């Protein structure tokens, strides 16, 4: 408990936090990797779902350790721990994890479409979509004091926060809008794949909303809204655009700039 309190107050960095985090996720990751290896190339769908379940484990364990927190006072809000180095480590490790999955699972790597309609259009569309995702909450924040919705965020945290939100959500988007979307697009239509990726994304946050935390329906509705928009962005402009939409929205909501 002292470590978590210190983290949230920004007083110090306790290396034991990362040790505790790894100790909690490694057994589950070991079982998940064993499952992927045993399934082999027999079913791409099983491997995709295993990767998603391992990600859910990695994400949800962050919550009780105080690496991030949510609130529903006024409007749904999110804040990350006031620990720049921790955010960089989590962001970089997420990017490396996504790269490792795509490197070693060559069959699933073929499902990835990085850009559609040109890189410049994809980047612009992704950033605009980030604003669309965050806009309803940012408007609502104007009537809720920042002290009530997570507090101010120090300027020194902004770059590490960007690292965490964009690289961390690159892993998430690789799984949901890269692998799952790509697999479903082969079985159905692009629109159905996009909508299904949004619904699955919300479903993957059920435990976070109702069990790991008590934020409930507001968190679930936001995830469905965000996931659906990212799915549609992926359909039109590719995975990079979806990553910018997701990462950009979380950055806007967690940076405390409004």
DSSP 213-243: SS-HHHHHHHHHHHHHHHHHHHHHH-HHHHH
Give the pLDDT score at 56. Answer: 97
Banded model confidence at residue 73, pLDDT cuts 50, 70, 90 = confident
Which sign, positive or negative, has the C-alpha torsion 257, 98, 172, 170?
Answer: positive
Q: Does residue 159 carry a pLDDT above 60?
A: yes
Give the pLDDT score at 74. Answer: 66
Banded model confidence at residue 14, pLDDT cuts 50, 70, 90 = low
Region 191-202 average pLDDT: 98
Q: What residues pair up with 80 in beta bridges, in sequence order?
A: 68
Banded model confidence at residue 12, pLDDT cuts 50, 70, 90 = very low
For the chain, the first-to-last Cα distance in angstroms comes to 30
Q: Are 226 and 205 in contact (CB under 8 A)?
A: no
- Of residues 190 and 9, the one with the higher pLDDT is 190
Q: pLDDT of 40-63, one tens digit each?
A: 887 899 999 999 999 999 999 999
Token code pair at residue 52: 């998603």
Helices 216-237 and 239-254, axial angle in degrees (round to 10): 150
Token code pair at residue 109: 């790597």
Please choose, from the candidates 160, 151, 155, 132, the residue with its C-alpha nearest in 3D space to the C-alpha of residue 77. Answer: 151
Token code pair at residue 215: 């934020």
SS3 118: coil
pTM: 0.92
Give the pLDDT score at 225. Answer: 97
CA angle 144, 125, 58 (to 5 degrees): 65
Q: What residues pair up with 70 in beta bridges, in sequence order?
A: 78
Taking CB atoms within 8 Å and a gap of at least 24, the contacts of 187-192 are 190/235, 191/235
Please choose, from the candidates 98, 123, 99, the residue with its C-alpha nearest in 3D space to the C-alpha of residue 244. Answer: 123
Give the CA distances from residue 246 to residues 188, 204, 249, in Å, rounded to whole numbers and listed in that order.
24, 15, 5
- Angstrom distance (rounded) from CA 189 to CA 183: 11
Alpha helices (H) along the chain = 2-9, 15-39, 44-61, 84-104, 106-109, 119-141, 158-173, 181-187, 190-203, 206-207, 216-237, 239-254
Give the pLDDT score at 10. Answer: 44
- Angstrom distance (rounded) from CA 135 to CA 62: 26
């Amino acid at each position: 408990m002292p470590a978590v309190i210190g983290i949230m107050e920004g007083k110090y960095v306790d290396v034991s936090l990362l040790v505790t985090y790894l100790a909690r996720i490694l057994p589950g990751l070991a079982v998940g990797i064993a499952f992927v290896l045993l399934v082999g190339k027999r079913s791409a769908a099983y491997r995709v779902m295993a990767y998603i379940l391992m990600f859910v484990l990695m994400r949800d364990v962050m919550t009780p350790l105080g690496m991030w927190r949510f609130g529903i006072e006024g409007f749904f809000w999110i804040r990350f721990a006031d620990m720049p180095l921790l955010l960089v480590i989590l962001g970089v490790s997420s990017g490396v994890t996504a790269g490792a999955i795509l490197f070693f699972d060559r069959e699933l790597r073929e499902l990835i479409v990085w850009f559609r309609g040109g890189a410049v259009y994809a980047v612009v569309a992704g950033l605009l979509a980030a604003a669309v995702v965050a806009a309803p909450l940012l408007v609502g924040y104007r009537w809720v004091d920042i002290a009530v919705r997570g507090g101010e965020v120090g300027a020194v945290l902004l770059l590490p926060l960007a690292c965490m939100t964009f690289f961390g959500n690159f892993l998430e988007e690789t799984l949901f809008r890269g692998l799952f979307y790509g697999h479903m697009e082969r079985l159905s239509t692009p629109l159905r794949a996009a909508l299904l990726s949004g619904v699955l994304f919300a479903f993957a946050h059920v435990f976070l909303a109702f069990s790991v935390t008590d934020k409930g329906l507001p968190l679930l509705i936001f995830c469905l809204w965000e996931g659906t928009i990212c799915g549609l962005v992926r359909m039109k402009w590719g995975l990079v655009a979806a990553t910018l939409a997701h990462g950009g929205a979380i950055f806007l909501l967690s940076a405390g700039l409004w």
